[in-house]
Amino acid sequence: MSEQNLQPKPKEPIYKKWWFWLAAVIVIIVIAQSGKKSDSTEQTTTSNESGQQIEEKKNTKETFPTVGEKLRTEYFEITLNKAYIDTKIETGNQFADIKEEAGNKFLILDIIFKNIDDESRMFMDGSVYIKYNGKEYEYDKSETIMLDGWGTLLDQLNPLTTKSTKLVYKIPAEISGPVYWEPGRNSDDKKFFCGNL
């Protein structure tokens, strides 16, 4: 009986296998695709009559509902009736009024919430965003006014019922720029465009 060589066959290095290179190419493609940032403009190239290429920029900026329009979230249909600025808040009750403050002004949002779910839901204030000097500022605290028709005060709405209220946000007097309001309980981060200061 002859002796056979029982030593294992030397393994081929992993980088010499075809599936290694296929996996590497796929990983590189995935990384390249995920690294691209979405731009507010999309460029396409077309040719005009003389054969020259022309770059066209399509505006793909997100559009926001504005005053008088509705925004639908998971639980609510929200209407922004009015958005305005004042230096003081007059509620009709002298004990709940907010007096004028040096260096500040107030953004007032007149809103209607409608519960579109099949059970009671609590609605919340949300945040105001203002783009000023190249930076976006978030105002997530609304003023507390203890009167019906002002603020949310942990209110709940029964199914298919509505509630009108005014939200008040204190902002600096010198700030200017586009204003957006993102309602609370809004998992899709939808926003209203309230106008420019």
Query: What residue ranges do the domains of the chain occupy?
Result: 14-59, 70-196
For the chain, the distance separating the N- and C-terminal CA atoms, rounded to the nearest angstrom, is 98
Q: What is the pTM of this model?
A: 0.67
What is the identity of the amino acid at 118? Answer: D
Lowest mean pLDDT among 5-14, 36-45, 94-103, 187-196: 36-45
Helix, strand or coil, per DSSP, at residue 164? strand
Q: What is the DSSP letter of 87?
A: S
What is the identity of the amino acid at 89? Answer: I
138-167 CB burial, b ≥16 within 10 A, e <16: ebeebbebeeeebbbeeeebeeeeebebbb
Could you report the per-residue pLDDT of 165-193, keeping only the tens digit for each? 999 999 999 999 999 999 988 888 899 99
Return the residue matching tokens 């605290």: 141
Helix, strand or coil, per DSSP, at residue 63? coil
Look up the CATH architecture of domain 70-196.
Answer: Sandwich (2.60)
Return the residue matching tokens 């700030």: 175
Q: Phi and psi dihedrals of 132, rounded to 5?
A: -140, 125
pLDDT of the residue at 61 = 59
The helix (H) or strand (E) run that includes residue 21 is helix 18-35
- As a whole number, mean pLDDT of residues 75-85 equals 95
Q: Please check whether residue 100 is in contact with residue 173, taking contact to mean a CB–CB distance below 8 angstroms.
A: no
Could you report the per-residue pLDDT of 4-32, keeping only the tens digit for each? 666 666 677 766 777 777 787 787 777 76
